[in-house]
Each structure stands twice: as structure tokens, then as C-alpha cells.
Structure 1
Amino acid sequence: MLSIDRNSFFWKYLSEGQRGLIEGGLYLLNDVKAHPDANISDYSYLVFPFAKAYEGFLKKLFLDLGFIPQHVYEGDHFRIGKALNPHLEKFLRHESIYDKIVHRTGGKMLADELWNVWKRGRNLVFHYFPHNFRALSLVEAEEIINEILTVMQKAVSECRVESVLRR
């Protein structure tokens, strides 16, 4: 059973919309567990609200850390997958949030986790490839949800967001 401390800085840091997505996602997860006989072939839908909250969280985090300006945060063209990609072409490295996270935290661990959770929790779940249809089991969906929530909390802590916002 997933639980989040509603009194934690992490929970308070999230926007109202992000908290709503997570609450809705937890409701869906609890509902499907209350109905174990449901004949569901793909539990990807359980990941969606968490993945959407993760995207919003990352944009807010990048704004608050000074990695992107307000107009980029509010715009329609910023691509997290591009900004977090550790394999970004050299001529695009000036746009790399990945590098900024490495610099801020003093290592690649968090940046790699943010990238890997982005790939697993969004790209691999929500893209459809006819030659590689990927359905998630309930266990897999729950693992991805846990990874999303865990890396979000870790990012708030390791990027020292609370101290940044106090300035």
C-alpha cells in the first residue's frame, strides 16, 4: 500500500494539481485492488496520473532551481525528455537539465534516476508500437508508481529545494 505523508515538505511542495493527480491515482489503485476479479489486460492507466504529476513536478522543480525561466515553464515547447536525456548531442548540451542536476548534486545518481523513471514511467508506458505492444501487470504498474513517487521525494531532498525556496 502506497502512502504519502500529507504533512511532509514534499507533499506541500507539490502544486494543487499535482496533489490532485496523485490522490486520483491512489484512488484508482485502491479501487482496482478492491476488485481483484476485474478482467483487466493492461494496468498502464494506473500509471498515467502519476506520470502526469511527475511531468508537472519536474517542470516546477526545474523552475524553482533556476534551471528554466518562467516563460519556458509556462510555454508549450519545453520537452523534459530532451532536457533530461544524458545522451543529448554535444551541440545541444547548453539545454541539458541533466548536466545541471549532476552539477547541483555532485554526481550522476539522481540525474540518472530522474531520466530512467521518466523513460520507464512515461515513454515505455504510453507510446504504442505495433511490433512491441507492452501491457503492464498490476505489479509492474505499482512498481512504476512507487519509482515515480520515490524519485520525486528524493529530488526534493537531494536538490535541497526547501533551502532554495527560503532564499
Structure 2
Amino acid sequence: MSTLIDIKNEAWWQTLDESQRELLQESLLLLVREERLKTNWHDYAFVVFPAAKAYEGFLKKLFLDLGFISQQQYEGDRFRIGRALNPSLEAELRWESIYDRLTDRRGGDELPEYLWQTWKRSRNLLFHWFPWHKNAISLTEARGRIEMIIEAMRAANLAFFATSDPIMLTPEEQLPAASKMQNGNSMTPEKEDE
């Protein structure tokens, strides 16, 4: 797992808003603390929760930036990521499927599926209680979920905003390492000298 210092040096980190960065830092600090204390909690979901919350904010902003949701949906409390990102959405609701739009935009479902699995495993199943399955996780599993969230944000940012992190793109898709941020969250490559 990347250290917090390493992550702060990655281009995608700068595209997060301050509250998302704080939430990720909180999860990483909780993880380090629990690994040092060696407590034996039944469930370490509390370590993942801040990162999962940051991931929710990240996805909403991603969907807004890609034009998949409106500013009103972004700011409102009715938009449901789990419904919009679910690849098994019922036929009569497919018109609102962000999963399908992401698949169309990327020309395949590898990244949308990874974003969905990250949401499902690191947020949705983790923070709901079911009588038949409590979904408690170990500290090692908590570390894996945090890593999954970070990787999903890194990969989505790279795939849609052309940062210089070489994750999930073919060599033909990768841009030159020199990228710079313009206009807040918009990433564009610098022109190469001829």
C-alpha cells in the first residue's frame, strides 16, 4: 500500500477536494493506529468508513464532471450511486444507468465493473447489516478495502482525466508523463516540443 506521503505526490490526489483528502487521511491514520495497537476488534469497518465516504464524494463528482448527473443531483440527497452504478439495474431503469454510460465512454466494462465492485464491497455491503451475514471484516481486510478505494479513484481519474499515473490504460492510451492541472479538476497534457 502506498504511504500517505506517496499518495499526496500523485496527480489524482490534487483533484480531490479538501474534505475527501481529509477522509482518506483519516482512514489511513486509523489503519496505522490499529496495526500498531494490535487490538482484536470483531469488525474493523470503522477503519474503512472515512475512505468509503470519500469514495462516495469522488464518484458523485466524477459523474458530475462527465455530465452524467446534474448539479442539482450532485448537491441533492436523492441521487443513489448504488442504483446508478449497478450493472444489474432492471430493464425499465436502464435509461438512468451510469454503469452503461461509463462502459460506452471507456469502450468496455473493466473500469466500470471495478468501480462497482469497489462500491459494493468497500461501502455498500460493508456498512449494511443483514441477519444472515454480518459483513464483519478483519484489519487485513480493512487494509484491502482502503487499497481498493484508492486504486479505484486513481484508475478513474486516469481513465477520464488523463493524469500521468499509468493505471489501467494500454501503452497507446497513456499520455506523456508531463501533465498539468488546469481549471481545478480538469487535467490536460502539456504539448511536447517538436
Amino acid in structure 2 at the alignment position of 1:5: I
Deviates more, 1:83-92 or 1:153-162: 153-162
The alignment's TM-score, normalised by the length of structure 1, stands at 0.93
Counterpart CA distance in 1 for 2:122 and 2:75 is 23
Deviation sequence 1:43-101 (CA, Å, 0-9, x none): 11111011000000000011111111111100110000000011111221121110111
Pairs aligned (count): 166
Structure 1 residue 161: deviation in Å? 5.6
1:60 aligns with 2:81: no
Higher relative contact order (CA closer than 8 Å, sequence separation 6+): 1
Counterpart CA distance in 2 for 1:137 and 1:56 is 25
Runs of 4+ deviating beyond 3 Å:
161-164
The alignment's TM-score, normalised by the length of structure 2, stands at 0.80
Amino acid in structure 2 at the alignment position of 1:61: L
Q: Give the corresponding residue for 1:101.
A: 102
Structure 1 residue 5: deviation in Å? 2.7
Deviation sequence 1:9-38 (CA, Å, 0-9, x none): 2100001000000111111111111111x2
Q: Give the corresponding residue for 2:33.
A: 31
Q: Give the corresponding residue for 1:165.
A: 186
Q: Percent identical across equivalent pairs?
A: 49
Q: Give the corresponding residue for 1:144.
A: 145
Q: Which runs of 5+ in 2 are unaligned?
A: 164-180, 189-194
Superposition RMSD in Å: 1.7
More helix by share: 1
Q: Give the corresponding residue for 1:13.
A: 15
Q: Which runs of 5+ in 1 are unaligned?
A: none
Deviates more, 1:4-13 or 1:114-123: 4-13
Structure 1 residue 39: deviation in Å? 2.8
Give the SS at the match of 2:148. helix
Structure 1 residue 158: deviation in Å? 1.0
Whether the 8 Å contact between 1:18 and 1:53 is mirrored in structure 2 is yes
